[in-house]
Structure 1
């Protein structure tokens, strides 16, 4: 499927919103536990959606609903989950159950996963290729100038023995800097400073050359990664998303990962950027301000650059004796088939050093307000389910060590000991995550949030901001307020 060219209009998977392109997905719906008790998805640590939503609201315009990925909004923030004790078991799991603020009688289940944080002294060497879009579409203050600032910032975070190369692409692609040790920082910075924008966008050729450079300098004991900085406006060479997807998948198997940093609005191709990052086993972030560059490339550089586990999958099985229905909130682009969980050939997300991931489910307890009417001939509840009526469900996590093709399993029950009787009694971070999810769901149309309003979100935020050393939660408060004033305006691209 062509994802570039003129006119930029698509049918099926991709469609046009102005000239920004997003994947068209259906929102997760409620599932009847008696018919579909198991929910399976790939982990997601991306945050690109939050940055794009913020950039839209800072222009006093509501984002198009498909730009809002609820899980990326929630996972933008840090939560105080207990850390795993050792690298041998690289994840800890936290489960909370509390009343849903959206519909009386329903409950929310928060599943929090915290990854092991590598000691700074034991971080592997980094072999990085900066792949920088210098085409004419990048000639804007919030594009190439911000890319250059971001790359210089990341350069300052690397160690002297790490290596950096630079590939640029416009009408054609070329190597601006061969692999160079970071101890030659002045030389690397000088190349970055001289970059200018102009021409068409031969992005696929740039990707090919970047992978080639990374392979030439491959460090078998280090982290080998291409970092693509672009607005995603590919219009020369391979522009078909399936071809690009296949290419980065093959390179991933050779040990080179791909991360994507998105910039700019107006012709931002989020759909292609998500495809590349997900299939390149890297993360996707959207850089709209220098503060966001600092967060992604300085404060969170370790988790951005250094993975601790690969192909991480989550599977939750709900107990029909206690749960009638459930809905996974977000993760629509990360859903897996039930059998994919056990299949080590199926790719899934990577988790970086110290990263935390949150998933939220809304559940309807047996006897609660269902989304579906009662069936005349209900599904039989097994004796095994009745015998575990203290459990709402069971969480399983599969992951692979970086040096192994075989997955390992972690599991924990969702039992009533994890439950509190009122929303206000839930852990503060759980309530804050709910506020973020509520906001995201409202931006998507509010199909499942009942009578919840932006003012209700602000009330929750007023009690859950907590320790906010970097001001991210305060900034979120301001975004909610901006959405209130922007709600009467046309959505971006309409």
Structure 2
């Protein structure tokens, strides 16, 4: 009997020693916003790091009833607290002094170090954007030459649309004017220089609507179009984030709808693989021919969100899958769809950049599709797409998914030029000073005319618009038909790798902006909208109301995207300059 009692006591002690308790709770900021991606450490498990999920919640097994929890998150003061696992924890993190002040005023965070490599969190919601510096006016006598990379990225505009439609101020570094212009893929006017097997070219030179002392130089290039019967076979790897942060209608479900649209346009010669990551990395669909549309859709429809985000390991598997099924002369591409919230493995921009660089020369392109809000990591997706020889789009609605994955599929997916860049040589006789509008992260090119630019990738038939604001030379009034700038386009053929070069000239015209083609007037309105959102010092008092009035007569009544731009302008006016409430009379 005594032996039996001792055995019971021993079992009781053993059970107590190995008992597990579950610590649950949620994390919010002072405004009550749920914070996802907060780093969590437990005193009893010092070697392990946990993170709050997409809804700001967490659940962690601990060995004792009570323990100490330590929280850290960019833009917030660290928090350490002694907690009881028997109670649901409602934790609040306080914004650091700078972040709290900016959140209150609905402005983006300000960083002291304005280097192009700075990454900031915006609105206290966990979103991150790469810090950029506005290009300044450069004197032509000192720096006659500048250069900039060409690409088809347009994520900035649809992201701006998301902020405005949600009634939120736009972080200044979320505004990239060259991407805003890219979004519209403005067609070249009828009098443009058409080149059959190269880039077509057009330019315009006009007055500047926001500064009568300045002028604008518009440059347009259109990539050659691959005829539909010559479009090569595609080897596509869908790399889809199904982590907990994607469990919202504007994330995974939106992407699933978009991919279904893409699948409808696959051909039998195309191959699709589906890889997911969220709580682990999985091959959901092995390489499958495009004729098996129902099978591919079934794999897409089966996805559900949950778990952490081991993005780096998933990227490696996606590239290895693409390599195994590589189509020589075909379109080999990984399509990464995520909010960018990688919280396991290589998660910093530098680590991700190093990872993608390893695959850069493999002939496999990377397209990044960003979704979501609150913890959207624009800076990470921008880094990935640039280092992955690819492009970057932000999807905020199903119509945008259709635009990216169906309507403009060949422009976004089929590359006709690699490492494309422009060099401009301004003429001091006609141009006293100049500045590029947009391309702000290319400041080094302005400071060092001999620097080598890392060019971008251009898709089939894509049209590019670039704008320079110039100060004319004092004696330029008699400069009709004299050169303003020499334009040199350089790129590599995707198949042969051979370097190609095209040379163009932009001559002095100096006509009134109102007399130019509506394409250029609309481009000027888009550029000015971006300048005002970035609080540029070049606006010269120009307001959103002025942009709306100017663009009202430039938007095409038959162009849905341009009409939407006008509506966004009107919403932005209400957001940034709300009408003052009249005081009730006594």
SS at match of 2:390: coil
Match of 2:248 in 1: 140
**More displaced, 440-449 or 239-248?**
239-248
The question of whether the paired residues in 1 share the 8 Å contact of 2:418 and 2:456 is answered with: yes
Match of 2:103 in 1: none
TM normalised by structure 2 equals: 0.76
Alignment of 1:196-207 (within 5 A): 196-207=304-315
Match of 1:126 in 2: 234
- For residue 247 of structure 1, the aligned residue among 335, 339, 355 is 355
Match of 1:373 in 2: none
The question of whether the paired residues in 1 share the 8 Å contact of 2:146 and 2:449 is answered with: no
The question of whether the paired residues in 2 share the 8 Å contact of 1:244 and 1:276 is answered with: yes
Match of 1:405 in 2: 497
The question of whether the paired residues in 1 share the 8 Å contact of 2:205 and 2:215 is answered with: yes
SS at match of 1:357: strand
**More displaced, 335-344 or 209-218?**
335-344
Structure 2 Cα separation of the partners of residues 57 and 368 of structure 1: 44
Q: Structure 1 242/446 Cα, relative in aligned 2: closer, same or farther at 3 Å? A: closer
Match of 1:284 in 2: 392
Structure 2 Cα separation of the partners of residues 412 and 388 of structure 1: 17
Alignment of 1:263-412 (within 5 A): 263-334=371-442, 337=445, 347-367=454-474, 390-412=482-504
- For residue 14 of structure 1, the aligned residue among 115, 119, 123 is 119
The question of whether the paired residues in 2 share the 8 Å contact of 1:84 and 1:116 is answered with: no
The question of whether the paired residues in 2 share the 8 Å contact of 1:43 and 1:348 is answered with: yes
- For residue 479 of structure 1, the aligned residue among 549, 568, 580 is 568
Match of 1:383 in 2: none
Superposition deviation, residue 392 in structure 1? 1.4
SS at match of 1:76: helix
The question of whether the paired residues in 2 share the 8 Å contact of 1:163 and 1:182 is answered with: yes
TM normalised by structure 1 equals: 0.90
SS at match of 1:296: helix
Structure 1 Cα separation of the partners of residues 393 and 38 of structure 2: 24
Q: Which has the larger radius of gyration?
A: 2
Superposition deviation, residue 340 in structure 1? 9.5
Higher relative contact order (CA 8 A, sep 6+): 1
Structure 2 Cα separation of the partners of residues 224 and 118 of structure 1: 16
Superposition deviation, residue 468 in structure 1? 2.9
Give CA-to-partner distance per residue, 1:221-270, whole Å, 9 cap, x none: 20100000000000101113222212222212011110100000000000
Give CA-to-partner distance per residue, 1:379-415, whole Å, 9 cap, x none: xxxxxxx999811111111011112334221111121
Asked if 1:41 is matched to 2:41, the reply is no
Match of 1:183 in 2: 291
Q: Structure 1 83/245 Cα, relative in aligned 2: closer, same or farther at 3 Å? A: farther
Superposition deviation, residue 16 in structure 1? 1.2
Structure 2 Cα separation of the partners of residues 313 and 8 of structure 1: 38
Superposition deviation, residue 80 in structure 1? 2.1
Structure 1 Cα separation of the partners of residues 443 and 194 of structure 2: 26
Q: What 5-or-longer segments of structure 1 have no aligned partner?
A: 370-385, 490-494
Superposition deviation, residue 341 in structure 1? 8.8
Structure 2 Cα separation of the partners of residues 432 and 279 of structure 1: 31
The question of whether the paired residues in 1 share the 8 Å contact of 2:313 and 2:345 is answered with: yes
Match of 1:437 in 2: 527
The question of whether the paired residues in 1 share the 8 Å contact of 2:133 and 2:441 is answered with: no
SS at match of 1:157: coil
The question of whether the paired residues in 1 share the 8 Å contact of 2:152 and 2:412 is answered with: no
**More displaced, 104-113 or 156-165?**
156-165
Structure 2 Cα separation of the partners of residues 338 and 220 of structure 1: 38
Give CA-to-partner distance per residue, 1:249-293, whole Å, 9 cap, x none: 221201111010000000000001000001111110000000101
- For residue 223 of structure 1, the aligned residue among 328, 331, 335 is 331
Q: Structure 1 49/40 Cα, relative in aligned 2: closer, same or farther at 3 Å? A: same
SS at match of 2:380: helix
Structure 2 Cα separation of the partners of residues 339 and 68 of structure 1: 22
Q: Structure 1 368/466 Cα, relative in aligned 2: closer, same or farther at 3 Å? A: farther
Q: Structure 1 407/335 Cα, relative in aligned 2: closer, same or farther at 3 Å? A: farther
Give CA-to-partner distance per residue, 1:114-156, whole Å, 9 cap, x none: 0111110000001000000000000111001001111111111
Superposition deviation, residue 309 in structure 1? 0.8
RMSD over aligned CA atoms reads 2.3
Asked if 1:86 is matched to 2:151, the reply is no
The question of whether the paired residues in 2 share the 8 Å contact of 1:44 and 1:71 is answered with: no
Structure 2 Cα separation of the partners of residues 475 and 189 of structure 1: 31
SS at match of 1:228: strand
Match of 2:139 in 1: 32
Q: Structure 1 474/264 Cα, relative in aligned 2: closer, same or farther at 3 Å? A: same
Match of 2:183 in 1: 76
Structure 2 Cα separation of the partners of residues 319 and 231 of structure 1: 45
